[in-house]
Chain A
Amino acid sequence: MKRALIVDDSGATRAVIRRMMGQLDFDCLEAEHGEAALEVLHNDEVDVALVDWNMPVMDGVTLVKRLRRERRFAALPVMMVSAETSAARMAQALAAGADEFVMKPVTLETLASKLELLGLGESS
Chain B
Amino acid sequence: MSGGSAAGLAPIPAIEGASSHVPTTIEPVAFEFLRSFVARHSALVLEDGKEYLAINRLVPVLERHGLGSVEELIERLRTFTRGPLADEVVEAMTTNETSFFRDPHVFDALRDEILPRLWEERGTLRIWSGACSSGQEPYTLAMLVAEHFPHWRGRVSLLATDLSSAMVARTAEGRFSRLEVNRGLPANLLVAHFTPTGPDWVVNAELRSMIECRRLNLLDESWGVGTRDLVLLRNVLIYMPPETKAALLRRIRTEVLRPGGVLVLGSSETTLHLDDGFERVEVGRAIWYRRPE
Contact = CB atoms under 8 A, between A and B. Distances in A.
Given A85-B178, A90-B190, A94-B191, A113 B196 contact: no
Which label, helix, strand, loop or mixed, suits the secondary structure of the A interface?
helix
9 contacts: A87-B194, A90-B190, A101-B187, A102-B182, A103-B182, A110-B179, A110-B183, A113-B184, A117-B101
Interface in B8-52: none
Contacts of A27: none
A59 interface: no
A116 interface: yes
Given A87-B191, A87-B195, 6 more contacts: A90-B187, A93-B187, A103-B178, A107-B183, A110-B183, A114-B182
Interface residues of B, number: 17
Given A86-B196, A103-B178, A117 B184 contact: yes
Contacts of B191: 87, 90-91, 94
The range of chain A's interface size is 10 to 19
Nearest to B187: A101
Contact of A109 (B101, B183, B188): B183
Interface string A86-123: 11001101100010111100010110011011000000
A116 B178 contact: no
B104 A117 contact: yes
Interface of A: 85-87, 90-91, 93-94, 98, 100-103, 107, 109-110, 113-114, 116-117
A113 B99 contact: yes
A107 B182 contact: yes
A109 B184 CA distance: 9
Contact of B196 (A85, A94, A102): A85
B144 to A, nearest CB: 14
Among B184, B187, B194, B196, the one with the most A-chain Cβ atoms within 10 Å of its Cβ is B187
A100 B182 CA distance: 10
B108 to A, nearest CB: 11
